[in-house]
């Protein structure tokens, strides 16, 4: 999953415009998300990226960069 695919996916799930979000922006704060939407975004990444975020560290994946790095790392291993 590359950056553009991730942006498209998260835009569909959240219904928000991610075009201006940088790789380091905190998505919850930048996009004004509630906690359920933030979790639904991660759930969508799990489904389409074939990964599983650790349940006790869900708070750690709040930027596009963090999510991309995680997906890359998981797919390598």
Partner 1 sequence: MKTREINCLLEFLAHASHCYGENTALQHANDAGRDISFSELQLQAHLGAACLTRLDPVEGKPVLLLMEACPEWAASFFAILAAGKIAVPLVIDMPVEEIAGLAAHAGIETAILGQHARHLTPALKGCRTLYPADLFKGDLRQHNTRVAADDTAVLAFTSGSTRQPRAVELTHANLMSNLNGLRSVRQAGPNDVFLSVLPPAHLFELTVGLLAPLSCGATIVYAGTHMPNRILDYMRDFEITHTLAVPALVESLYLEVLFQLSEAEIIDPSRGRQQVAETARRIQYELSQDTLEKIRLGTRSRFGFSLHTLVVGGAAIENAYSQVLKAIGINLELGYGLTEASPIVSIGLAADCPNESVGKPLPNIDVRIDEGGEILVKGRSVMKRYFKDPSSTHDVLHDGWLRTGDRGKLDSQGFLFIEGRIKEAMVTRSGETIYPDEVECYYAHPMLAESCVAALRGEDGNDVPTLFAIPASDDISDEQLDEVFKGLKRNAPNRYKVPQMIRLNQALPRTATGKVRRRLVAESLEQRNSVLDGHSRRSRGTRDE
A 10 A CB-CB count for 62 gives 20
* CB 49, CB 1: distance < 8 Å: yes
Q: Does 22 bind partner 1 (CB under 8 A)?
A: no
Tell me which residues in 31-50 interact with partner 1 (CB under 8 A). Answer: 32-36, 39-40, 42-43, 46-47
The answer to whether 2 and 49 are in contact (CB under 8 A) is no
Nearer to partner 1 among residue 61 and residue 64 (C-beta)? 61
Binding site for partner 1 (CB under 8 A): 15, 26, 28-29, 32-36, 39-40, 42-43, 46-47, 53, 55-56, 58-59
């Amino acid at each position: 999953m590359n950056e553009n695919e991730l942006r498209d996916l998260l835009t569909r799930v959240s219904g928000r415009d991610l075009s201006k979000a940088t790789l380091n922006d905190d998505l919850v704060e930048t996009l004004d998300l509630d906690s359920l939407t933030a979790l639904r975004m991660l759930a969508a990444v799990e489904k389409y990226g074939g990964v599983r975020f650790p349940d006790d560290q869900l708070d750690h994946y709040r930027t596009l960069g963090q999510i991309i790095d995680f997906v890359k790392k998981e797919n390598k291993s």
